[in-house]
Structure 1
Amino acid sequence: MTLTLVTGGTGHLGRDIVDRLVRDGHRVRLFARARGTRPDVEWAIGDLATGAGLFDALNDVDTVINAATHSPIARRGGVRPVDFFKSPSAVDVDGTERLLSLCEQQSIRHFLHVSIVGLDDATLPYARVKLAGEKLVRASSLPWSVVRAMPFYYLLDKMLAGLAWLPLWPMPTTSFNPVDTSDVADHVVACAFDGMSGERTEIGGPEDLGVAALAGQYRDARGLHRKILPIPMSEAKARGMGFVVSRGVRGRLAWAEWLQRRYSGTHHAA
């Protein structure tokens, strides 16, 4: 049975990817900084940012799914002024380059890289870092695939939670179609083993939502009493901030349904 290495396998998307792989009967090895508790996978301990443990982690591996990333905004659930000027590249650029180099040496059969829809026009430093890493994959001599996904529901939940204390929420009216990690994982695993490679169909959520409308659904699901101030935004500015509508496959889980699962029975007026 072939062996698949997953980087970023302990993150939200990574956990869903590993669940799909295990469910489908694949042998899975997780590359992580610390050993986790799940017993149905192999654990390879190391760090993509430094390369520690990476050579051994690739031993006997057939397919690599690179879902690792380092986004300070996602980790803290909010934007700080520094995020408009710089974003760390040790994982997304240096780590990707190191991983690709070792995969080429070991003749990995398929390297699938998870990326983000709309990077070409996005202006935030994190997006530029992600694009630089993606370009390394595209230039590789390996059989590679790039799967771009829209922003994830759990990240939007985290960002909006950070605004919950404000009585007024200024929100752009521009539309985009965020997606749940469960739907992205299904698409990623399908692309990893369908025998094709190259630029793959991107994936977004099932519905196009204005950011203000999306925030309103979140507010109502939480039982909050906040006023939302819709802010018009030019298309160029929206694209620069990553607010685009993906043109690929659509996930199944809607934002409202995700919110219901997350917050059902937790209402408290505030």
Structure 2
Amino acid sequence: MALTLVTGGTGHLGRDIVDRLVGDGHHVRLLARSRGTRADVEWAVGDLATGAGLQEALHDVDTVINAATYSPIARRGGVRPVDFLRSPSAVDVEGTERLLSLCEQESVRHFLHVSIVGLDDATLPYARVKLAGERLVRASALSWSVVRAMPFYYLLDKILAGLAWLPLWPMPTTSFNPVDTSDVADHIVACAFDGIFGERAEIGGPQDISIAALAGQYRDARGLHRKILPIAMSEAKARGMGFVVSRGVRGRLAWADWLQRRYSVTRQVA
């Protein structure tokens, strides 16, 4: 049976991808810095940032789904001044370059790279790092695919949770269409095995929604009492921050429905 290696498989998106693959009957190997407890996959201990264990992880692999990334904003759930100055590249650039080179040596049939919608106009250092890694994939001699996705609901939830202590939330009126990782995973797995290579349709959520409205739905779902201050943002500034509406396929799960699933059992009142 053909073997699929997933990098980033222990993250939010990666777990959904692995669930889809296993559910569809694929033989899955998961690259991680330490072995996990999941018994329905092979575990390969390795690190994209250092290259440790990568060659062994790629042995007999037919398809690679590269969902690994290192975003300081996502890890901490908030933005700091340093995020406007620099972002680590060891995973997304050097790690991607190393992985591509080893995939060529191992004659991997298909390399699918997960990226972000709107990178060409985005100005944040993390976006520039992601774009540099994506360009390495596009220049590769491998049979590659690139799937760009909009920001994920779980990350927005994490960021808004970090603002919950503020009595007033200044929020742009710019619209975008974030998406749930479950819908992105469905699209990625379909693209990995349909025999089509190159730039694939990007994926966003089903609803175009302003950031202010999205924050309002979050506030209401959590039962918070906060005032939202809508603020205008130029189109150029919005695109620089990555706030765009994707052009491609649309996921099915709306933000409001995701919030209901997340907060319907235990609602925090503040």
TM over 0.5: yes
Partner-residue secondary structure (3-state), 1:62: strand
- Whole-Å separation in 2 of the counterparts to 1:84 and 1:186: 32
- Whole-Å separation in 2 of the counterparts to 1:2 and 1:268: 46
- Whole-Å separation in 2 of the counterparts to 1:106 and 1:36: 25
Cα shift readout 1:231-265 (whole Å, capped 9, x = no counterpart): 00000000000000001000000000000000003
Partner-residue secondary structure (3-state), 2:61: coil
Cα shift readout 1:77-101 (whole Å, capped 9, x = no counterpart): 0000000000000000000000000
- Whole-Å separation in 1 of the counterparts to 2:39 and 2:105: 29
- Whole-Å separation in 1 of the counterparts to 2:240 and 2:192: 30
Matching residue of 1:141? 141
Does 1:257 pair with 2:257?
yes
Cα shift readout 1:118-154 (whole Å, capped 9, x = no counterpart): 0000000000000000000000000000000000000
- Whole-Å separation in 2 of the counterparts to 1:145 and 1:15: 20
- Whole-Å separation in 1 of the counterparts to 2:117 and 2:186: 17
Partner-residue secondary structure (3-state), 1:214: helix
- Whole-Å separation in 2 of the counterparts to 1:248 and 1:225: 36
Query: Which residue identity lines up with residue 5 of structure 1 in the other structure?
Result: L
Deviation above 3 Å: which 4+ runs of structure 1? Answer: none
Does 1:55 pair with 2:55?
yes
Matching residue of 1:203? 203
Query: Which residue identity lines up with residue 54 of structure 2 in the other structure?
Result: L
Structure 2 counterparts to residues 217-228 of structure 1, below 5 A: 217-228=217-228
Unaligned stretches of 5+ in structure 1? none
Partner-residue secondary structure (3-state), 2:28: strand
- Whole-Å separation in 1 of the counterparts to 2:124 and 2:164: 24
Matching residue of 1:88? 88
Query: Which residue identity lines up with residue 241 of structure 1 in the other structure?
Result: M
Matching residue of 1:19? 19
Structure 2 counterparts to residues 164-175 of structure 1, below 5 A: 164-175=164-175
Q: Deviation at 1:266?
A: 1.8
Cα shift readout 1:145-169 (whole Å, capped 9, x = no counterpart): 0000000000000000000000000
Does 1:72 pair with 2:72?
yes
- Whole-Å separation in 2 of the counterparts to 1:107 and 1:60: 9
Matching residue of 2:7? 7
- Whole-Å separation in 2 of the counterparts to 1:204 and 1:125: 22
Cα shift readout 1:37-95 (whole Å, capped 9, x = no counterpart): 11000000010000000000000000000000000000000000000000000000000
Matching residue of 1:184? 184
Matching residue of 1:40? 40
Unaligned stretches of 5+ in structure 2? none
Query: Which residue identity lines up with residue 170 of structure 1 in the other structure?
Result: P
- Whole-Å separation in 1 of the counterparts to 2:265 and 2:93: 42
Does 1:239 pair with 2:239?
yes
Aligned length: 270
Structure 2 counterparts to residues 99-118 of structure 1, below 5 A: 99-118=99-118
Query: Which residue identity lines up with residue 202 of structure 1 in the other structure?
Result: E
